[in-house]
Amino acid sequence: MLLKLIEYIGALIEGPIEGVGRIMVLFYSVLKWLFRPPFEIRNIFKQMLEIGVKSLPVVLITAVFTGMVLALQSYTGFKRFGAEGLVGSVVALSMTRELGPVLTALIVTGRAGAAIAAELGTMRVTEQIDALETLATNPVKYLVVPRFLSGTIMLPALTVVTDIVGIIGGYFVTVILFGVSSRAYLRTTWDYLEVEDIYNGLIKACFFGASFALVSCYKGFYTKGGAEGVGQATTGAVVVSSMTILVSDYFLSAWLFK
Amino acid sequence: MIELKDVYKSFSGKDVLCGANLKVERGESVVVIGGSGSGKSVLLKHIIGLLKPDKGTVIVDSTDLSQINEDGLNEIRKKFGMLFQSAALFDSMKVWENVGFGLKRHTHLADSEIKEIAVRKLKMVGLVDVEEVMPSELSGGMRKRVGLARAIAMEPEILLYDEPTTGLDPIMADAINDLIIKMREELNVTSVAITHDMKSAYKIADTIAMLYNGVIIAKGTPDEIKNTSDPVVKQFIEGSAEGPIVLEGIKK
Ligand SMILES: Nc1ncnc2c1ncn2[C@@H]1O[C@H](COP(=O)(O)OP(=O)(O)OP(=O)(O)O)[C@@H](O)[C@H]1O
Ligand SMILES: [Mg+2]
């Protein structure tokens, strides 16, 4: 009975543990190829366009509405105890420290992470990855490294945009809709915001970018079993990346914002 | 020279190769025949190191593939051209970029020169005016031929063809057979081809080898194979449902 239970638990965790091991192996080979010329400049730019530039519209909409709703909620809420003057700080701190990196990461994962897993997964099941190898081209260097690099670079870049646009959204609601003076809003924004808030947020974004790209590449790269497998890889990439982002966010925040 | 020595391979408990031996001399053209699902594609993928044997060795030009690192393997792979059974074209690239992929990666040629070569190779496989098309817009047989053009683009020493004529009409199939013969005669390539098409096998092979139950059970010149007394080989080349080979699940 007990043995059965242990066996059952073993079987249950075997998959994830094996997965973590194989992601680490992939990560190691990404690092190994990352610094070896020739660099895949063309592929890297293409992926930066795919992951970064093409995510810009959704990121902008998310950012502006997040900033707006933050301002709306904190204005009406803080009014109860006369603290509506702090709305600017609330928006600025929440955006830079937390919502900027996390929301951007989740949105980009939903878009680009799914696309990466689906593309690499399709390439795997249609033997295109094997074909790359027969053409003496290392698929990790050719496919995974550019995506990993673009994720790691573009996520902080998009987060900067989110931070700024979020603060503008908050400004719009507070100043234009609620009639708080523009100077008061901007002062509270700058007074409590420190440079660390911004760059610690960007460090988080960097980490999220690296992890969603790695997880999505891993899911796609090791896809098995036709169209159904590609579907599973895609969902798996989004679910696992999002979980990784949300869980690591807590620990990163605890470590960075002491 | 290519040599497979006692190669074993199984996938999640299912034995596919069980001690396969095959030797291909330089300049020789070997055709591997065998039933559907008998492991012919798996055998071919071992030769170029896409699959690693569970047991046994694969030797290419006196190098044991299991003894070299990634870079060494890539150097060896530059000698190869491979046509996949499913063509395996890169669907994010135009036809000419597919054909010129190896040239782009491993030579310093300008794009215009690569394109020129690609167009020439496409012509060799009977395709014109397709260079700007995306692979998804091609028919199955056309994709196969683009795959063939990609395999020969680098003028490799060794060519691996996985069912080069499947999906082509009989006239085109014969033209591809001629092309395979021409590749050997003019460039002295060593080749291993898989086919179900006995007519094509007799035409292009110096040696025919039959894979059955995970081993090479027979090997000989086309004439020897034609006049074989082995009942398994005989049944296969005559394409008869009666004989020692039983098709599981299909009962009369
Ligand atoms: N990557 C793989 N993972 C698991 N099983 C595989 C894999 N590749 C091949 N197999 C199995 O190995 C067996 C032989 O496959 P293979 O593709 O070599 O057959 P084949 O002789 O080429 O058949 P066909 O003539 O139909 O192309 C099949 O049962 C297949 O399911
Ligand atoms: Mg096959």
Torsion (CA) A71, A73, A74, A77 in degrees, nearest 10: 150
pTM assigned to the model: 0.89
Q: Given this model, what pLDDT does residue A151 score?
A: 94
B59 and B65 in contact (C-beta within 8 Å)? yes
> A158, A99 in Cβ contact below 8 A?
no
pLDDT in tens, B97-156: 999 999 999 999 999 999 999 999 999 888 899 999 999 999 888 898 999 999 999 999
Ligand 1 atom closest to B40 (CA): 21
Query: How many residues would you count in chain A?
Result: 258
pLDDT for the residue A78? 84
Residue ranges covered by each domain of chain A: 44-256
Kindly determine whether residue A134 and residue B48, on different chains, have CB atoms separated by under 8 Å. yes
Residues, chain B, total? 252
Considering only alpha carbons, which residue of chain A is nearest residue B47?
Answer: A134
Please report the pLDDT score of residue A223 as a whole number.
93
Is residue B78 helix, strand or coil? coil
Contacts with B, A 120-159, CB within 8 Å: 122-123, 126-128, 130-138
Residue type, B61: D
| B53–A contact, CB cutoff 8 A | no
- Across B179-199, b (16+ Cβ under 10 Å) vs e yields bbeebbeeeebbbbbbbbbbe
State the pLDDT at residue B249.
Answer: 64
* B105 vs A: CB within 8 A: yes
Is B101 within 8 Å of A128 when comparing Cβ atoms?
no
- Stretches in chain A below the pLDDT threshold 50: none
Q: Which residue is closest to A122 within chain B, CA to CA?
A: B91
**Alpha carbon of A137 to ligand 2 centroid (Å):** 23
DSSP state of A222: T
Ligand 1 center to residue A8 CA distance, Å?
Answer: 31
Which of B52, B70, B144 to mutate to probe the A interface, most A CBs <10 Å?
B70
CA distance B103 to B173: 27
**The pLDDT value given to residue B228:** 86
d(CA A130, CA A84): 61
The whole-number pLDDT of residue B252 equals 47
Q: What is the pLDDT of residues A144-192, one digit of tens each?
A: 999 999 999 999 999 999 999 999 999 999 888 888 888 888 888 888 8
Q: Is A18 on the interface with B (CB under 8 A)?
A: no
Rounded CA-CA distance A175/A238 in Å is 37
pLDDT of residue B248: 67
Task: Quote the CA–CA distance of B211 and B68 in Å, as a whole number.
Answer: 28
Stretches in chain B below the pLDDT threshold 70:
248-252
ipTM: 0.91
For residue A140, give the chain B residue with the closest CA: B70
Q: Tell the residue nearest (CA) to atom 5 of ligand 1.
A: B11
The DSSP annotation for A101-160 comes to HHHHHHHHIIIIIHHHHHHHHHHHHTTHHHHHHHTT--HIIIIIHHHHHHHHHHHHHHHH
